[in-house]
Amino acid sequence: MTTLDWLIILGYFSGLIALAWWVIRKGKDTADDYFLAGRNLGWFIIGASIFASNIGSEHLVGLAGSGATSGVALAHYELHAWCLLVLGWIFVPFYMRSKVFTMPEFLERRFSPAARWVLSLISLVGYVITKIAVGIFAGGIVFGTLLPDLQIELGGVLLNSFWIGSVLVVVLTGLYTILGGMRAVAYTETVQMLVLVIGSALLTVYGLAALGGWSELRATLDADMFNLWKPLIPAGMEGTWLPVKEPDRIAWYFNDEYPWVGMLFCAPIIGLWYWCTDQYIVQRMLGAPDQTEARRGTIFAACLKLLPVFIFIIPGMIALALAKTGRADMLTVMVDADGSVIPGTAQGAFPLMVQAVLPMGIRGLVVAGLLAALMSSLAGVFNASSTLFTMDFYRKLHPAASQHQLVWIGRVATTVMVLIGLLWIPVIQGARGLYEYLQGVQAYLGPPIFTVFFLGVFMKRLNAQGCLAALIIGFLLGILRLAVDTPVSLQVAGFENGYPEGSFLWILNNTYFQYYSLFIFLVSAAAMIIVSYATAAPPEEQIKELTYATVTDDQRHETRKSWNHWDVLGSAAVLLLILAAYLYFNG
């Protein structure tokens, strides 16, 4: 890092602070303005904010690292951009008509207040152990790679660059998020999106130039690293429809490969839960003034969502190729003497690439993009967490609270969530990989939420009792898996080698995470349907306008007027680009 690089980073932060301050001064001391930006966000801001919130630590650190170890295998998750189209075309009309602040609030209107409380609790737990903790952890990895010798002694404790970076990212992000709320988050995320995309694209370009071009990348790496389909069909399983099962283990599990059963059925469930029902994402869309702006924001976000394959996964693959060919000395730490990738070091592929191939000035811009992604992801979850706690818990217990009190409680809630997230970092440090950790935890917590939202909208017969049964049973199954996995991830004394082979806990711990996720979904769906049909049907007045079967003709006409041929063409373009990616990356 040269003086010019640091000046560019300083300029980025100065501009970000100035923008945040301008937005904060424009804001009003009301819950509507603090949590949803006054419901006045345009489609460009919505789309950019959704993308910037999603593209955070797990992509810059985890996805690039997975690109170095597994090639394009995890592009399956990134090509789920079509899930955003489902949000725009199916759920936007329901959410916008309801004028809710949170997803649990929508669930309360469809089912019951108890459903709202349970979902809020599940969401807050999920944010702590995934988005907040992972964001903080990734900030530490970036600083640890860029400034490995940075150390500060505090109270007799020597803090290394990992912990210094983690805390700095939290403080800088929390400052403008706590003060400015959703409006500050949305506008700063738009700037961060531009810096992130431009910086990451430049890294790909310079990386390919250092390597010798795309053809050299394909020649250096194994062809299977460019095959989206190969990881779904492990060696010896070609031409079969059997789920993968290692011969020497009871559990369906294998490393660095992704069985077609899980990718075909589980990955879309998690994708639809995340993009269509998660407060973290949907809150940006709730800030739109009408259905038109909300839908177009989701279509724009879907277009942007196709970029990570090329600006995160590919740089990770380029880093591996540079390490194998010896064209960048700094990257040789990623491979052993035989040229095989070292998974732990590969987690730093993106920041290592920044140091190895970029010229001064450009390096500062890309590091600013790194920090932008980390901060935007954290800012989004801070705001979503404070909204959930304030609107779904505090306001329900204190209905007479003033607008000023609600805003103040939201700020306090953000601070508490950050402190809890810091305590969870050691668990992530023990996980096999950052991106794999995130996908695993989401796979355990997402299925019951997906179940109640999708079945609730499409099946009007389902009631509050069925919803509660699905949420509680699904959540308990997910927590059970996390409780079993955590001691092994942390390498707690007595768990260094896992559980006794063949035992129930060993089977539970080793069952492939997508298969366990499918199990949670099937049990949740069965519980919701069985309990609903075993109890009374919901009153017609309660489900009015909240299911497809109870939408009025006037509302259908209003929705039809909210889109035109440009919205259809934009959606079709996203689907065609996804198809093109699958056809190209086929080995």
Residues 133-174 have pLDDT tens digits of 677 776 666 677 666 766 777 676 666 776 676 677 777 777
Pair of tokens at residue 56? 């955070």
Output the pLDDT for position 376. 73
- Distance, in Å, from the CA atom of 48 to the CA atom of 36, rounded to the nearest integer, reads 15
| Residue 109 vs residues 60, 95, 318, 391, 454: alpha-carbon distances, Å | 38, 11, 50, 14, 15
Q: What is the pTM of this model?
A: 0.83
At 324, list the tokens.
Answer: 């194998």
pLDDT at 308: 87
Kindly tell me if the per-residue pLDDT of 81 is higher than 60: yes
Mean residue pLDDT across the chain: 81
Work out the average pLDDT over 335-357: 79
Residue appearing with tokens 């949740």: 524
State yes or no: pLDDT of 410 exceeds 60: yes
The token duo for 49 is: 């904010």
- Residue 204 clears pLDDT 50, i.e. is over it: yes
The pLDDT tens digits of the residues spanning 416-460 come to: 877 776 676 666 555 445 556 666 778 888 899 999 999 999 999
- pLDDT band at residue 468 using 50, 70 and 90 as cut-offs: very high
Residues 6+ apart with CB under 8 A from 160: 144, 150, 151
Adjacent-strand bridge partners of 341: 335
Reported as a single tens digit per residue, the pLDDT across 513-526 is 888 999 999 999 99
Cα 350-355-361 angle, rounded to 5 deg:
110
Whether residue 249 is predicted with pLDDT greater than 50 in this model: the reply is no
Convert the pLDDT of each residue in 181-203 to its tens digit: 777 778 888 887 888 888 888 98
Q: Are 55 and 210 in contact (CB under 8 A)?
A: no
Residue 563, CA distances (Å) to 103, 333, 361 in order: 24, 52, 43
pLDDT number for residue 32: 67
The rounded distance, in Å, linking the Cα atoms of 225 and 209 is 20
Mean pLDDT value of segment 39-46: 87
Note the pLDDT of residue 248.
37
- Nearest by Cα to 41 from 298, 276, 278: 298
pLDDT for 254? 35
Can you give the CATH number for the domain in which 20 is found? 1.20.1730.10
Of the pLDDT bands very low, low, confident and very high (cuts 50, 70, 90), residue 412 is confident
When computed from its CA atoms, the radius of gyration of the chain, rounded to whole angstroms, is 23
Confidence of residue 240 (pLDDT cuts 50, 70, 90): very low
Across 19-28, 128-137, 461-470, least confident range: 128-137
pLDDT tens digits, one per residue of 84-120: 999 999 999 999 988 888 888 899 999 999 999 888 8
On the question of pLDDT at 205 being above 80, the answer is: yes
* Unique residue bearing structure tokens 């805390």: 167
HEC profile of 315-370: HHHHHHHHHHHCCCHHHHHHECCCCCECHHHHCCHHHHHHHHHCCCCHHHHHHHHH
Q: How far apart are CA 212 and CA 529, in angstroms?
A: 57
- The whole-number average pLDDT for the span 321-338 is 82
Secondary structure (H, E, C), 449-504: HHHHHHHHHHCCCCCHHHHHHHHHHHHHHHHHHHHHHHHHHHCCCCCCCCCCCCCH
Are 528 and 451 within 8 A, CB to CB?
yes
The whole domain housing 525 covers 3-584
**Cα separation, 29 vs 34, whole angstroms:** 7
Poorest-pLDDT segment among 26-40, 268-282, 290-304, 495-509: 26-40
Count of the separate structural domains present in the chain: 1
